[in-house]
Amino acid sequence: MSFEFIIPSQKDDLLNKTEINQYVVDEVLSFREIPSALQSVKSSFRSNGTQCLLEKFDVFFSILILKKDVKPDLKEDAWQLILKVGKSLATEVAGVLEETSLEPGSRLAHLNQVKMLCYLLCQYMEMFEDDSNEKSDVITTGKGRKNKKSTDMAIDWEVERENGVKTLLHLVSLNILRLWDPPIAEVEFVNMITNLVYKLLENPHIVYVKAKETRTAIFNIVGVMVKRYNHALSASLKILQQLQHFEHLVSPLAEMTSIITTEYGNKSVVAEIMREVGRKDPKDLVRDNTGTKSFATFLVELSEKVPGVMMSNISVVLCHLEGESYTMRNGVLGVMGEILLKVLSKDSLEDKLKDTRDQFLEKLEEHIHDVNAFVRSRVLQIWLNLVNEKCLPLPRHEHLLSLCIGRLQDKSSQVRKQAIQLVTAFIKSNPFAAKLSLEDLKANYEKEKEKLESMAPEEQSVLEDSTLVKIEEEWKPLEKKLRKALKKLEGEEEMEEDNNEELIQDEESANSVMDRIYNLLTEEKFSDAKLLLAAFKDAFPDNSFLQDTTKESQSEADTEDSQRSTDANIDLGHMKMIFFGHKKQSLVITSGIEEEKEKDPIVNEVTKQQVLVQYLKDCCAFATQIQAAVPVICQLLGSKTNTDILEAIDFFVTGFEFGVTLTMMGIRRMLHLIWSRESSVKEAVVSAYKRLYLNPQGGNQRAKAFSIVKNLSALLSGASLGDLTSLEGLVVELMKSGEIEQSVIQMLWERFAMKVPNTTVEDSRAAVTLLYMIAGADMGVVKSNIDVLVKEGLGERAENDFILARDTCLALLKLGPPKKVQGQLQAEPFRFPQNHQMFDRLQTLLINGVQQFENSYWIPFGEQAINVIYKLAEHPDIICGDIIKALAKEVIKAEQLNQTLSQETPMEEEKQEETEPKETDPQDASPSNSQDASPSNSQPSSQPSSSATVILTRLIAFAGHVAFRQMVHLDTYVFGELKRRRAIQEQKKDMKTPKADRRGSKVDKSTAEAIEDELGLAGAAEEDADAEYIRKVCDVEIVTGDSLLGSIGPLLVTVCTNQNRYSDPHLRSAATLALAKFMLVSSEFCESNLQLLFTVLEKSPYPTIRANTIIALGDLTVRFPNLIEPWTPHMYARLRDESQTVRKNTLQVLTHLILNDMVKVKGQISEVATCVVDHNERISSLAKLFFHELSHKGNAIYNIMPDVISRLSDPDVGVDEENFRIIMKYLFSFIQKDRQCESLVEKLCHRFRATKTDRQWRDLSFCLSMMSYSEKSIRKLQENFACFGDKLADEDVYSCFCTIISKSRSFAKPTAKTLIDELEQRLQQCHTKGLEDGEIAVKASQVSSQVAAQTKGKSRTKSAKTPAKGRTPARGKRGGQRRLDSSSEEDFVDGVENTTPAPRSKRQPKGRQARQKPKVSFDSDSDSEIELFDLDKSSQGQHSGDG
């Protein structure tokens, strides 16, 4: 056989002969001849073996040519036959290649067989791969209709593809190069095989798990080609090409490259890939982000597999760290991270590798502040991996942690997430201590430091001397170079000062800066060291190191002549101390450890102690940094981003477990997240508290229950009311999930009853508090133990512990009927008889306990007792009535006792006047004496409350709450019970009446009644009648008339009116609240006493009373809106109260009323706007939140803007200019619509005509500059130019209009640019003309002053005359200005209700005498001496604008 098979570039090449010995296909069979020909091939294979390939190649080739016409089963038969031939040929060739010498004929025959077989394998696999892809395309895009022509395959191609690749691998793995002479395979053969395997990789299904064997075989084929067939360069280029076009190949190609490198020992592929990536144009990388992402991910995955090879070639890609593509920066940094983890994290590294490690770490630190958030996030993630794997060198902990804490406030949520995770990982992986309590660490540090100082000071000094000698030897040559460098740098001091600020970052500490100075000194970068030292002095002027070294350097430099040399010596001294400090620290520890065996035992002990002290010092520094991060992460608990909250929760749980003290602040703040709407946040909170408080370690079941109860009780200590509410929600969630077991509940009952040894009173209170929280989820916990609650919580202990009694009442309040299910009748009321022991005990405690004057918890207990009585008693009004009568008797007894004592006191004082001095120290007076003081004392407020006053205070508070609960009782329980009973009667009636009778009754009814029955209006009418009856009872019978509470009403009015007689602040506070509660019940009582309540709100000297009153007025507004509406200006006025609490409460009440449409938004809304700049941050944030919510209510912000601007720019009642701008800048952020801006532009321009002061010009022009301008808005400015043209001489006004021009020009359309240019030209002309007119006016004023000086003598005689009658010039000027302002409001607000307050007229209406402003008089002889507000007159000025 003399022919040679040449690999064709195209199939047609086998049909044409171009060389003498080239193999050519003689004939392409027709598709009808193929089946019989295929059978003959099978027969030939059975008889001749692999020789059939040489003889019958034309048959296989014909199938390739006619593949579209050949049936699939014939192609599959041919494929199976090729596989059999391939396996047989591989075995035969393997035997031939074992021979030492090959005959030329045999070599050529086997070479042709190998080439033919490889060609057929490749061609058939490409054919089947194409068919498979075509089939998948038909399935995915055919919309139900499949084209079955030549695409239905009976074989499982994924299995057959694996067999074909393995056959090909078997062949090329043999040393078939011996078949070539010389032993070099042609490029076409290599390309044929590699092109096939690369094409197979392009199939997305190749990444599936079931294709793992195929992938591995492909990787090995490429590896063989690289190792034996010189395919390395082509492979690297092909890998890059496929990465750029196929995203799914990132991981497979990384695995293939690692196999080539490790198993086939070829590192040049990695080097070439890195080199090509390094050559990529940064602009191309930015443009093709998909390909760049593939490159970056590929490099990172490759560095995971072969980090050593990557490290040796990483220098060629470092250029991309400065490139524009953040994706490539992430990739290069990820490669560094993997190399640090896998290669540079070993303990024993060479110096060169240590330098490489430090360079990598510095690069990672630099990119913590990268401009791109994705890079910052990725770098922090790399640091997280390093910390978790403990690959971070100890000296870098402090600096890295400070940088990480700085990223906690990053604007990107992803960066914040990674930063919190990194801080948490620092705690978990810290090399210092298992408990990071800063107080304990500091105590241990001070203790060990003192011990070190007391241990063998002489030996320690010997050790220090030897250390200093070594350091001095290193310092001397460095000092000479440093002195020369400092002399050269003396003339550049000014330049140094200018650049100092940028050298030190905000997160850096003093120690880290000194570390940098030391490194610069060792690297002999003296100029940089001097600059950094100067920056260090500016950033840390109070540092103790600077103060000490400065004194030493100045004392050494006293002999110097010039100040410049003194400064140089000071700098030199600082650098010397930094150098010595670092060297000494390192040498003492290392030399102590190395020479430990050679030294004296005492010196060894000193060295060990030094190491311990240094360790404790590092612990303290680390704990301090963690403590500094806690407040920042606390703020993130209120973030709008869930990831911030979840990571912060994890941080606080970890910190708490490691004993970080401040984390308790975050643990408490986490409680409020139990109300989060996000289920993930809610679940994280529950699991966090479960992990912290419900998982005690060790002990039996009872011991664990005791630990859980103790943990939860500790959480109660110091909790606010909001914390308790949130904790109750948490306990309910824990109960629902079954986390609180029955043993814990049993332990709580035992602690409540004080059955557990060493249980304190506080423990018992905490137990009952937790029990009522648990009862929120399971009422049976309390219902089954009512007797225990009454016996223990309302028993003997409660007589002296009203807190326990109050908490017991809260537990009893959990009792009640189950909630109504929609569509079912309301459950029967759950109530106890009037003579139940519970109510007897409450009555006894309240009446007997009223005499305990020092116990301030009587009123809170009384309110909860009233709640229990009204919720659980059959006739609550009778029980409370009896208690009120008993308390009234106690008041009368106490008053009689006080009168008796007051009559005896003067007689005793007359006897004592002769023997005792007149002046006594009020602090020496006993409580009994102070209570016996006469109520007519001239300074009652300075005396302690008398017994009658205390009891009267409690009576009034009790009666007020009874009135309130009686109203609620009627509105909810009685009304609900009436509905329930009516529903039951209707059900019984329907059950008794037969269906036929029901139909007949409908016929007999009138048409109106039938319609009412159909619509259900009959029941509604009856409910309305019941509601009207209950309202009438509340108005007439509860707090007015002859009822018990009605008799207390006048008492409340008397106490609130007579400020001098009833001066006790507690009494007045209780009376005001009770009066408000009475007013809530009855509209008649409210209307008659509304004037008094607002007088108290305005005139009370006690902030607490004013704060409580404004809250009560909010409730009154909801209940009686028409009555309160005329008085709303007085509520707004409290926004300027001097008390922060009053302002905060007022703002919260008004926010609630306005946002719920209970109060109309009027001109007084400007008072709310002033709260935006309140000094109290809480009030300021509440005001901003109000406007943010108001902006969601249509055009609300737009509608109030004219009035707000008008009022706030008024120099008499407004705010200063700076605060005005802050407020307007915030409010204009809600004006977004173009139509709103156009309308406001026109109105503000008209407003210029009504202004008189320069301040108003500036305010209006600033408001105009805050808006966004469209073409129509610019046109409005043009049309109204005459309104403000004469004001442009003012620089501030002109600058604001220039701002408008610059803003409009940046995004204006071409058509609007002409308008803008024209407007700009007019602005400039008016501004220039205004300046010239101003200069003329100045000159005119100078001339007039000279004329006035000359005529001064002549006018002296005239000046002595009496001035003309009328207003003074100043008054006339001010009046004229006000008239101008008030008359111009119509021009300003077009179509909006004018609510600007007009000035009060000084002329009285006809028929009325002039009357002064109401004042409070304090006359103790009159019953009602406080003069109340007159609604018609006192609010005249504030309502004049509304009309």
Q: pLDDT tens digits, residue range 100-117?
A: 777 777 888 888 888 888
Is the pLDDT at 1373 greater than 70? The verdict is no
E-assigned strands of 1065-1215? none
Against a cut of 0.75, is the pTM above it? no
Cross-strand partners of 1426? 1416
What pLDDT, on the 0 to 100 scale, is given for residue 394?
Answer: 84
- Find the mean pLDDT for residues 1137-1164: 89
Is the pLDDT at 905 greater than 60? The verdict is no
Is the pLDDT at 1355 greater than 60? The verdict is no
Q: What is the DSSP letter of 1171?
A: G
Burial (Cβ within 10 Å: 0-12, 13-18, ≥19) of residue 1145: buried
- Asked whether the beta carbons of 1021 and 1030 are under 8 A apart, the reply is no
Handedness of CA 153, 155, 158, 161 (dihedral sign): negative
Among 451-465, 741-755, 890-904, 1279-1293, the least confident range? 451-465
What type of residue is 1351? Answer: T
What pLDDT, on the 0 to 100 scale, is given for residue 1443?
Answer: 36
Kindly report, residue by residue over 1207-1228, the tens digit of the pLDDT.
Answer: 888 877 778 888 888 999 999 8
What is the Cα–Cα distance from 1163 to 1396, expressed in whole angstroms?
6
Distances (CA, A) of 338 to 351, 491, 698: 20, 47, 41
What pLDDT, on the 0 to 100 scale, is given for residue 585?
Answer: 66
Pick from 772, 781, 720: which is nearest to 746 by CA?
781
What pLDDT, on the 0 to 100 scale, is given for residue 180?
Answer: 83
Kindly report, residue by residue over 304-332, the tens digit of the pLDDT.
Answer: 999 989 998 899 999 988 888 999 999 99
- Find the mean pLDDT for residues 826-850: 88
The residue among 73 and 898 whose pLDDT is bigger is 73
Range picked from 579-588, 609-618, 1351-1360 for highest mean pLDDT: 609-618
What is the Cα–Cα distance from 430 to 835, expressed in whole angstroms?
65
The residue among 1232 and 987 whose pLDDT is bigger is 1232
Pick from 849, 774, 767, 778: which is nearest to 808 by CA?
767
The Cα angle at residue 1168 between residues 1165 and 1169, in degrees rounded to 5: 90
- Asked whether the beta carbons of 954 and 856 are under 8 A apart, the reply is no
Is the pLDDT at 726 greater than 80? The verdict is yes
Is the pLDDT at 769 greater than 80? The verdict is yes
What type of residue is 1300? Answer: I
What pLDDT, on the 0 to 100 scale, is given for residue 1089?
Answer: 92
**What is the torsion angle, in degrees rounded to the nearest 10, for the CA atoms of residue 969, residue 970, residue 975 and residue 980?**
40
Q: What is the DSSP letter of 970?
A: I
Is the pLDDT at 1204 greater than 70? The verdict is yes
Kindly report, residue by residue over 349-383, the tens digit of the pLDDT.
Answer: 888 888 888 899 999 999 999 999 999 999 999 99
What pLDDT, on the 0 to 100 scale, is given for residue 1297?
Answer: 87
Among 127-141, 605-619, 1027-1041, 1155-1169, the least confident range? 127-141
What type of residue is 910? Answer: E
Range picked from 44-58, 134-148, 526-540, 911-925 for highest mean pLDDT: 44-58
- Find the mean pLDDT for residues 603-619: 80
What pLDDT, on the 0 to 100 scale, is given for residue 1291?
Answer: 86
Is the pLDDT at 1358 greater than 70? The verdict is no
What type of residue is 159? Answer: V
What pLDDT, on the 0 to 100 scale, is given for residue 953?
Answer: 93
What pLDDT, on the 0 to 100 scale, is given for residue 154?
Answer: 67
Six-digit token pair at 970?
């009627």
- Find the mean pLDDT for residues 1424-1439: 42
What pLDDT, on the 0 to 100 scale, is given for residue 589?
Answer: 53
Phi/psi of residue 944, nearest 5 degrees: -65, 155
- Find the mean pLDDT for residues 962-969: 91
Among 12-16, 796-800, 1340-1344, the least confident range? 1340-1344
Kindly report, residue by residue over 468-505, the tens digit of the pLDDT.
Answer: 777 777 777 777 777 777 777 765 544 444 445 566 76
- Asked whether the beta carbons of 696 and 668 are under 8 A apart, the reply is no
Q: How confident is the model at residue 1376 (pLDDT cuts 50, 70, 90)?
A: very low
The residue among 532 and 669 whose pLDDT is bigger is 669
Residues 6+ apart with CB under 8 A from 453: none
What pLDDT, on the 0 to 100 scale, is given for residue 649?
Answer: 94
- Find the mean pLDDT for residues 1284-1311: 81
Cis peptide before 182 (omega within 30 of 0): yes
Q: How confident is the model at residue 683 (pLDDT cuts 50, 70, 90)?
A: very high
Looking at every residue in the chain, the average pLDDT score rounds to 79
Is the pLDDT at 742 greater than 70? The verdict is yes
Six-digit token pair at 795?
């028993």
Q: How confident is the model at residue 1421 (pLDDT cuts 50, 70, 90)?
A: very low
Phi/psi of residue 284, nearest 5 degrees: -65, -35
Pick from 1280, 1272, 1266: which is nearest to 1309 by CA?
1272
Is the pLDDT at 454 greater than 70? The verdict is yes
Q: What is the DSSP letter of 1023?
A: H
- Asked whether the beta carbons of 772 and 807 are under 8 A apart, the reply is yes
Is the pLDDT at 1033 greater than 60? The verdict is yes
pLDDT above 70 covers what percent of the chain? 79
Q: What would the DSSP string read from start to end of 1293-1323?
A: HHHHHHHHHHHHHHT--HHHHHHHHHHHHHH
Kindly report, residue by residue over 252-305, the tens digit of the pLDDT.
Answer: 999 999 999 999 888 899 999 999 999 988 888 888 888 899 999 999 999 999
Kindly report, residue by residue over 1337-1353, the tens digit of the pLDDT.
Answer: 555 555 455 545 554 44
What type of residue is 586? Answer: S
Six-digit token pair at 1336?
């003329």
- Find the mean pLDDT for residues 783-807: 90
Is the pLDDT at 925 greater than 50? The verdict is no
What pLDDT, on the 0 to 100 scale, is given for residue 462?
Answer: 52
Among 403-407, 898-902, 1152-1156, the least confident range? 898-902
Q: How confident is the model at residue 397 (pLDDT cuts 50, 70, 90)?
A: confident
What pLDDT, on the 0 to 100 scale, is given for residue 1370?
Answer: 38
